[in-house]
Amino acid sequence: MTLNDPFLQLLQESQIITATVVVFTIIGALFILLKTLSFLKLIVDVFVLPGKNLKDFGAGSGSWAVVTGASDGIGREYAMQLAAAKFNIFMISRTASKLKALRDEIENKYKVDTKMYAMDFTKGDKRDYENLKDIIEELDVGVLVNNVATNHEIPTPFYLEDDEIIHNIVEVNIAGLLKVTKIVLSKMLPKNRGLIINGGSFAGTVPSAYLSVYSGSKAFMNTWSQAIGAELKSKGIIVENVNTYFVVSSMSKIRKPSFLIPLPGPYVKSVLSKIGIPGGASFYPFNSNPYPSHALINWIISNTFSWSFWVNYTLGQQENIRKRALRKREREKEAAKSQ
């Protein structure tokens, strides 16, 4: 038999095909194994592992939790649940009357100390930050919840968006975040202890067309959280960008809870019970995704289709929301005219 023998050639070809099939089968099996392991990790994170104890950050020993955007929605729940865990609560938000009502409720229910400060973050007023600094100077702060944020009124193409809305998003979601954190860190660092919870959003990981400035501000929050998370870890301060899908609130304009969209109560409970556990957000460090259905969505986004698929998916989703919002505006205009 020579090398040119057709039988020998056929044998060689079939060996190459078999080897190729074996290599691809091994790669496929490894791929499936890795995905299965990452899914199992998600299940263990979300349903089994306990988070850090809030006592590690001073709960019950006179420490304070500072909550921005505390008068409504998710921030209000943080204030209530951190008070239930026996932190004293310093709440910062825009509407003084809502803060006063919350302060009374917290003091009556949980018998902890409270402080409140009403300010409008869109103003970027230096005096407000100086006042915050003076108040925080007196407190032993264990927890900071950077929750305040503002959003586009409706999904809007960037080139059509109102300059004031763009300014407000940057002032509240970025400048306010940085200034408040810097003030609070000056109290946490000497104690080598602290927890910083940042109110992140899926819009910060999947770029959201028509919500471009909000989405960019949450991407900033995500990247900045990872950077300062790395800086502060060795100093005993935990930073968590809590990557959130929809929650019932005035900002989301969703009123009814569902499997994917919780009320603020159960959502915040999941965050506070899973400190230090990534949940569905294992791709980015210093991120967490504790609410079970949000963790699942995050896992699907990170492990299935391409990034462009999700960017296009969000584009379609926001285009539909924009159409509905514009129709609603038209109806409201017509109704106002006929009155």
Ligand X SMILES: NC(=O)c1ccc[n+]([C@@H]2O[C@H](COP(=O)([O-])OP(=O)(O)OC[C@H]3O[C@@H](n4cnc5c(N)ncnc54)[C@H](OP(=O)(O)O)[C@@H]3O)[C@@H](O)[C@H]2O)c1
Q: How far is the CB of 176 from ligand X (least distance, A)?
A: 8
If one asks whether residue 52 binds ligand X (CB under 6 A), the answer comes out as no
In the complex with ligand X, which residue's Cβ is closer, 64 or 245? Answer: 245
Q: Which of residues 152-181 bind ligand X (CB under 6 A)?
A: 172
Residue with tokens 């959130």: 244
Catalytic residue among 214, 245, 267, 284: 214
Assigned token pair, 60: 């019950």
201 known member of a binding site: yes
Q: How far is the CB of 251 from ligand X (least distance, A)?
A: 3
If one asks whether residue 149 binds ligand X (CB under 6 A), the answer comes out as yes
Residues 285, 229 contacting (CB under 8 angstroms): yes
Q: Which residue in the set 51, 58, 69, 194 belongs to the binding site for ligand X (CB under 6 A)?
A: 69
Residues 207, 188 contacting (CB under 8 angstroms): no
User: How far apart (Å, rounded) are the C-alpha atoms in residues 72 and 133?
Assistant: 23
Strands (E), the chain: 64-68, 88-93, 114-118, 141-146, 194-201, 237-244, 287-288
Q: 83-122 mask for ligand X (x: CB under 6 A)?
A: ----------xxx--x---------------------xxx
If one asks whether residue 249 binds ligand X (CB under 6 A), the answer comes out as yes
Q: Which residue in the set 51, 58, 75, 262 belongs to the binding site for ligand X (CB under 6 A)?
A: 75
**What is the size of the binding site for ligand X (CB under 6 A)?**
28
User: How far apart (Å, rounded) are the C-alpha atoms in residues 252 and 13?
Assistant: 60
Residues 193, 58 contacting (CB under 8 angstroms): yes
Cβ atoms < 10 Å from Cβ of 216: 19
Residues 299, 78 contacting (CB under 8 angstroms): no
Q: How far is the CB of 19 from ligand X (least distance, A)?
A: 49
SS3 state at 208:
coil
* Cα within 13 Å of Cα(279), Cβ side: 28
If one asks whether residue 209 binds ligand X (CB under 6 A), the answer comes out as no
Q: Which of residues 267-326 bind ligand X (CB under 6 A)?
A: none
In the complex with ligand X, which residue's Cβ is closer, 103 or 193? Answer: 103
- Whether 284 sits among the annotated catalytic residues: the reply is no
Cβ atoms < 10 Å from Cβ of 229: 20
Q: Which residues are annotated as a binding site?
A: 201
Residues that bind ligand X (CB under 6 A): 69-75, 93-95, 98, 120-122, 147-150, 172, 199, 201, 244, 246-247, 249-252
Active site residues: 214
Annotated binding site for substrate: 201
